[in-house]
Structures are given as C-alpha cells and as structure tokens.
Structure 1
Amino acid sequence: MLHEDLNDEAGHQRARAERPAGDRCDRLRLAAVGGEPVSGEGTRGIVKPLLPETFIAHGTSAEMRWEAMRDVGYHVPNDRFFVRSHTSTPIIDAATWRLELHGTGLRNPRSFGYKELLELPAVTMDVAIECAGNGRSLFATQQGQKVSGTPWRLGGIGVARWRGVPLATVLERAGLTPDAVDVMPRGLDPDYVADGINLGRVRRPIPVSKALRDVILAYEMNDRPLPPDHGYPVRLVVPSWIGLASIKWVGDIEVSTSPLTSPWNTELYRMFGAAYPPEGSAPLTVRGVRSAFELPWEARLIARRTHLLYGRAWSGNGRIAGVEVSFDDGVTWHRAQLQGPQIGPAWTRWHITWNPPQTGPHVLLARATDETGAVQQMRTTPNDHGYLFDAVVRHPVTVVSG
C-alpha cells in the first residue's frame, strides 16, 4: 500500500552499461558469482537468530521457510524476513551516520544526518523485496540445469511495510539537474572480494526516472526501526525491481549526467547463456510473476480429508489477477480464491480446498496471472547463474492414510 501520492511502478527504463574489456571481464563475472565472499572488515555473518523452523541458512544469507508464514498475516515479521548479503551485516551508529549526495547531476551536493532525514516528509509503502536468484535451485531439480550461486528454493522474498523519505525529496534538496540520468547508491557493508578481485562495496545504478517515481530511503520496517540485517539505519526500497536495487546500509548516492556502471550491472545480475548474446542481457530490473504454497516441502497430508491450502502470488508488473492450482500435474486447473490486499509492488494471498482421494506422492502446482496478462509458464529460459526463475513450481507432498 502506497500513501501520499506515490504511485505503483508503471514501467521502467534500463540503464546502459559499459563492460570491462579483455579477460578480466569474464574472470570478474565468474569470480563474483561463484566465489566465496571475504570481508575485509566488520563481523561476518547475520546478527539475528536463525531458527531452523523458520529459516534455511545459506552462508551469509538465510531463506524464509514458507510454512512459517501460515497465520502470521500479510507482512513477513522482521525476525522471519529472509536475509541476502554479499558479505556480512555491519553495525552502524545512527548518531554518526551520514548520507552523502554527490556527482555531476547535482547543483548543490550535500549530506543528511539520521535526525535530518527523520524530520523530512515521509511515506509508507507495502513492498516485496526479492532476491534475483530466488528459485535458483529449481533450475536443477525441475529443468536439469546446473547453475551457480546460492541455492534458494523459493523463500528469498518477503513483504514488509516500509516507511521513509522519497528519494526524490533528497535529490531535489541537493539540486538535481535536468540532465541527470543515473543515480547510484552504495552500501556501507564490507567490500566484496572474490578470488582475489575486490569489487568494492555493493552499488547499483538506477535511472533518474525510476528514482523520482517511487523509490524511498526507508528507516522503518513493519513500524519498527530497521533491524541491522535489513539495512539499519537507512536503506533503499525500489518497488517491483530485483532486491539488489534496494541497497542496504546506504551511505552515499552518486548522481550523474552520464550513465553509471558497477560490477553489479555489467558482470552480475545480467542473463548469460545460450539464449542470450555473448555480452549478456540488459541489467536485470523488474521481477517476474510467481506463486508459492504456504506448505512445507514434502508436506504430509491425510487422504480423504478436506484441506484448506494457502499461498501467495506476486509480480513485478503489477497486481495479481488470478491464481490457478492443479492437483493432477497440470491436466486440470482450479481457480483459487484471492483474499486480502491486492497490492502491485507486494503480493496477494490466496487459498483453495483439496480432498486428496489417494495416498502416495503428489505434486501441487500453482499458476499466477498478473494484471498485464503475464502467466507463469511451465519452464523458464535457462541462464548460467539461475536468475529470475518464474516457472510454475512443482511442490511435492505425500498423502497418507488417516
């Protein structure tokens, strides 16, 4: 939900990127995606407890278990929200934190302190943050394709209520020039180093048009100050785009009159593979349409008993228009009932009943359609790094006798 005249994203503009030349280009891409992050400062790891009943740990990241979302409401509680970090969570003192705005696209470069930011007009938004690699392990289990990177199943997503200052507000106060084209926020987490290559701190340019439309500098998550793992004291929230764009622990923002680049939009977070040109696709921006059951993987259900199955569906293109579920491997489909808020940049909850007649292994399928008419397909075009898996997920369950 978006208040105070910010609108849902109505399209996007992709930033142009320049690739580094020579062998270093390929080495950079492979090292950064497949290498083990090595932080040069701070404490490695995640601050909040990772209970096994709510998370699947993935090194410096943690995946939400979908079954942990049953009966907790529309928003993912802060203690259950997934964590995606390139290195480790930094501990930052808000009293000394500054946000530096600089670059050729500003007439009056300046900085803001934490208290200054809190005094500016604020907005509240319900927005999903989703890792671009969410569903990566399904390339292997459903399509037989080996990919590199964190083996997310489908729990690299969460919806929270974010409160903060529109990025447009601070850009205007810093004298945004009419010819500015890109803004690039940079985090304060440790440098990302892989196979001896230091890529620096995480940063990713976005077009000024997107920055002015609906991006916020968030300082609250679900009506509480941001937890350390989720960007305290301030992070970006970029509705409908891949999670990488929502830079955590933001410390400075460069604004430029020429296109900006970083390893995170030239060598990373682009599609590479047989279906794409040698230089890769354009940098990834908008997420696809997806759906998930609020069930354990390999859930056990009792035969000849009516079960009320719940799930959630979402799309970077807008609101969810419908969800269908199949209990017979896609032969027949049944319309699920949508419930609660239907918010474009967030997700929609749904439910359906099933009375399984036979014991044994079964596969449940959920297929969502968004307001643009985009429908989940049965297969996703392969890419080397397993980004944007948006095919129908084959959710295994076992039906047992009562």
Structure 2
Amino acid sequence: MAAEVHTPAAPIDEAPVPLDEAGYDRLRRRQWLASEARADGVDRRTLLRMLSAAGVLATPTLAVPVLAPARAAAEEVPKPVPGIVKPLPAEWFVPRGTNAEMRWDALRDADGEAAVGRHVPVERFFVRNHTSTPVIDPDTWRLKLFGSGLRGAPVAERPVEFDLDALRRLPSTRISALIECAGNARSYYRSQQQQSVPGTPWTLGGVGSASWRGVRLADVLRAAGLTRGAVDVLPTGLDPHYVVGGTDYGPVRRPLPVAKALDDVLLAYEMNDEPLTPDHGAPVRLVVPGWVGIASIKWVGTIEVADHPLYSPWNTDFYRLWGPDYPDGGSVPLTTQVVKSAFELASGAVLEAGRGHRLHGRSWSGAAAVRGVEVSTDGGRSWRRADLRDEPRAHGWTRWSIDWRPERSGPYELRARATDRQGTTQPTRAVFNREGYLFGAVVVHPVTVAQDSGPRALGA
C-alpha cells in the first residue's frame, strides 16, 4: 500500500533567488560561529575543539588507510572490498579501502574498440562508500520530510511521507549526469607534485556517467508543502554511521541551499533504465548535477527542510579546502567539480613503434560543457587538437580521439587537457589543499613504445 501523502500545498509564490554559493556560505559560517545555526550531529563546542592553532578546522584521521599509488593494470593485485555487494572483477576495478575505482583501460576491449559508451554500465560503475552498502527493502522504504521550512512544520516523529509508489506517481524526469568523488585524481598530488595528502588514492577512476530517472526534488518539496521561508535542505542517507577516531558522525548527510534543490536536483530511482542497485543508492538517491559526489546522497531516507541554516560534518569539517592558498577558516564547502581528462588506456601500456595508433579518452567539467581537447605525445612540448566524438553537453563527459604514430622506441609521456565553455583550461599544476580534493591539473600518462609487438591496448 502506498504511503499517505499530505495534500499537496500550493506552489510557493516567490521564485527562488539565484544561487550565490560563496555568499551563502559566508552567511552560514557567521551564523554558526554566533550559535545561530545548528551543526547537525556534531555540537558547536566539539567542532570548535577541532580548530587548529592557526584557526583552521582540522580533519580527523580518515577511516580508509592511505594506499600506494595505482600501478599498471597488469600489476594490480585484487583485494577484497568489505561492504560492497556487487562483484568487482579485477579487469574492471581497482579496490581502494571501502571503495572500488573504475579502470579506464576497461572502457576499451583488447582490439581497441569501444567497450563502454557514453554511459557506464551499472556493473562497471565505480563505488564510493564511507562505510558499507546497506540493502534496503524497497517495499518498506519511506522518504520522510520534516522541518520548519515546510507548511505546518512537521516534525521527525510525524513527517510527510512518500513510499516508492508515491514517488513514481509524480511526473518523472530523466537526466544524463556524471557522479564524481571530490577526491578523484587525489594520488597525483603525490606522484606529480610531491605533495603528501591523506585519503583514498584515486587515480582518475572515481567517476562515472549514467542515465538517471526519477522525480525532481523540487516537485517533492512542493508536494510536501515548501514555504517561502525555506533556506536549507538536508538529505540524510540510510547507510551505517561513519565512526572514526572515537567520534560517531552519523550517516552521511549534507545540506543543499534551497536554490540548488529547486534547480536541477533529481531523486533518482532508476539508473540506465533499471531500478537502482544497492551499491548505487537503492531504493532512491540524490543526483546533483555538476557538484562533487558527496552532494548526491545515496540511500536517502529523510530530508529536513529548514527556515534556518543547517550543518553537518560533511560541509563543516569535511569537504572544504584548507592550505596556504585558502582562508584560515577554510574555503566554502565544495560544490562544482573541476575540468579533467583521462585516456582510455592503462598507465604503462606498451605500444608498437612504426605503426599508427588511435588514442581515445574522455574529458568533463562540472561547470560547463567541454569546448575542446588537446593532446600531447611528447611530454607537453607540443599539442594537437583531438577529434570530439560527442556533441558536448553540460554535466557529462565528451569522448575524443587522436591518431599517433611513434617511430622510435622508448618511454613516452602522454598528456590531455580540456577547456570548457566557460573558458577554463586544465592547468599544468593543481593548487594544493591538505585533503587532496579537486585535482584538475593535466595528468602525466606514461606509456612505453617497443620495436617488437607488445600487448595491443589500442586499435590501429
């Protein structure tokens, strides 16, 4: 039986204001420090104790151990990943703590032909877990909304509820969007810039594109009785509590400003035309296009809607930028992803000299569609424009290719750099931050060219 849904409220009679992320965060930070805002799950005194001597919020030791940088695909030793439900074959994934990174070379078959199209199949999609994957019965699952930003201010004990059938009765929307971990490419701070950072040492495989179907978060909020005074929306997952260093931070949750929530956010119940699977957020997850993956909360169970600012550890002591180039109090909470490019080729691949190869890759940006991609096969001394294989779109990646015929044997360094339609080009060096987030610099991709025929990772 479908859960009873409160009578839909009349639409709010004021259009949402444009989203000013920096201004939003400055206001929220001032209110929190003045005890005018609630830091959900971690009290103000505890968070203040975490301030460093320089006034910077310290990040607790992460639960995931620091592992060695990724090696070439042939050298990877498969390791079990606790808490992930789906199989993780070594030819598709690199296990990393509680996570599973996608192998870029797996996007091509042995003859260099495309094995994965614009959307990554569910069984090959990367997995990012803070703890472990819960398996939730869709028949008993309920989405519960409450808070002072809803008409009648329902409380957690008597929320507005939707079951899965109720959500499916609302108008559905389908979008194509990337999900990308904020720490994707983190390992290159160490391997390319000799800067030590903690956390999961992703190369470039903490990202994936899929087709998502569900209901707009805006429609659910309005059906629940959104008021003009609503400020923040706090979705919370049903995953196990994140406990580290003796502190229980609770399940993963992170506020969204109401302007973003009413813009393009989706409550998704399908991925690539199939019901969501447990590792990817079943029964229902958020998809927040263009933003760091932590915003796209999996296994959503509750949504608080407040007429005052909300906080959680995931936008106060986690997922900010700290370092010499950032304010003492850290940057604003991370939102938009940076520009990146990746080759569909194993690091350290062996190619044959004196014959043509077709290099393939993908580029993307959280801010805008990709405008162009350039490739260097000589360590960055010269660049050639790659052929774009897709019509670039916002919130998705663009596939590209370029021909290369190396005549001499030896080691080579391939590079790819993209420019998006806002004019942002990947730099040669990323600005350092202590947690290794948002690495967007050009990645050095080593290959070896041999005179005799080696393993053919590319087609002629």
| TM-score normalised by structure 1 residue count | 0.93
In 1, the alpha carbon distance for the partners of 2:82 and 2:221 equals: 33
Does the 8 Å CA contact 2:64/2:98 hold for their aligned counterparts? no
The reply on whether 1:34 has 2:62 as its aligned counterpart is yes
Does the 8 Å CA contact 1:376/1:391 hold for their aligned counterparts? yes
1:189 to 239, 252, 262: 239
2:86 to 29, 35, 48: 48
Runs of 4+ in 1 over 4 A off after TM superposition: 25-29
Does the 8 Å CA contact 1:126/1:343 hold for their aligned counterparts? no
Does the 8 Å CA contact 2:64/2:199 hold for their aligned counterparts? no
- Structure 2 counterpart of 1:229: 279
- Structure 1 counterpart of 2:393: 343
**Counterpart amino acid of residue 23 in structure 1:** R
The reply on whether 1:386 has 2:436 as its aligned counterpart is yes
| Residue 68 of structure 1: how far off its partner (Å) | 1.0
The reply on whether 1:111 has 2:137 as its aligned counterpart is no
Q: Tell me the secondary structure at the aligned position of residue 131 of structure 2.
A: coil
In 1, the alpha carbon distance for the partners of 2:230 and 2:445 equals: 46
In 2, the alpha carbon distance for the partners of 1:141 and 1:185 equals: 36
Does the 8 Å CA contact 1:326/1:365 hold for their aligned counterparts? yes
- Structure 2 counterpart of 1:65: 103
| Residue 340 of structure 1: how far off its partner (Å) | 2.1
In 1, the alpha carbon distance for the partners of 2:173 and 2:450 equals: 49
In 1, the alpha carbon distance for the partners of 2:164 and 2:229 equals: 29
- Structure 2 counterpart of 1:274: 324
1:95 to 139, 144, 154: 139
Superposition CA RMSD, Å: 1.7
| Residue 199 of structure 1: how far off its partner (Å) | 0.4
2:196 to 146, 150, 174: 146
Does the 8 Å CA contact 2:98/2:130 hold for their aligned counterparts? yes
Aligned 1:177-256 pairs, distance under 5 A? 177-256=227-306
**Counterpart amino acid of residue 348 in structure 1:** T
| Residue 91 of structure 1: how far off its partner (Å) | 0.7
1:11–1:312 distance in 2 versus 1, CA, 3 Å: farther
What runs of 5+ residues in structure 2 fail to find an aligned partner?
1-17, 34-43, 66-80, 109-113, 155-159, 453-460
In 2, the alpha carbon distance for the partners of 1:175 and 1:117 equals: 15
- Structure 2 counterpart of 1:173: 223
Aligned 1:330-369 pairs, distance under 5 A? 330-369=380-419
Does the 8 Å CA contact 2:341/2:361 hold for their aligned counterparts? yes
**Counterpart amino acid of residue 308 in structure 1:** R
In 2, the alpha carbon distance for the partners of 1:164 and 1:194 equals: 33
| Residue 12 of structure 1: how far off its partner (Å) | 5.7
In 1, the alpha carbon distance for the partners of 2:390 and 2:429 equals: 29
Does the 8 Å CA contact 2:64/2:97 hold for their aligned counterparts? no
In 2, the alpha carbon distance for the partners of 1:82 and 1:132 equals: 13
1:48-76 deviations in whole A, cap 9, x for unaligned?
Answer: 01111100001210000001112111100
- Structure 2 counterpart of 1:5: none
**Counterpart amino acid of residue 119 in structure 1:** R
Does the 8 Å CA contact 1:44/1:89 hold for their aligned counterparts? no
In 1, the alpha carbon distance for the partners of 2:255 and 2:215 equals: 19
| Residue 30 of structure 1: how far off its partner (Å) | 2.9
Q: Which has the higher strand share?
A: 1
In 1, the alpha carbon distance for the partners of 2:242 and 2:398 equals: 35
What runs of 5+ residues in structure 1 fail to find an aligned partner?
1-9, 38-42
- Structure 2 counterpart of 1:23: 49
Q: Tell me the secondary structure at the aligned position of residue 323 of structure 2.
A: coil
1:301-329 deviations in whole A, cap 9, x for unaligned?
Answer: 11111100110000011100000001111
In 1, the alpha carbon distance for the partners of 2:165 and 2:236 equals: 20
- Which structure's CA Rg is the greater one? 2
**Counterpart amino acid of residue 59 in structure 2:** L
| Residue 358 of structure 1: how far off its partner (Å) | 1.3
1:185–1:243 distance in 2 versus 1, CA, 3 Å: same
Does the 8 Å CA contact 2:64/2:200 hold for their aligned counterparts? no
In 2, the alpha carbon distance for the partners of 1:270 and 1:89 equals: 25
| Residue 23 of structure 1: how far off its partner (Å) | 2.3
Q: Tell me the secondary structure at the aligned position of residue 357 of structure 1.
A: coil
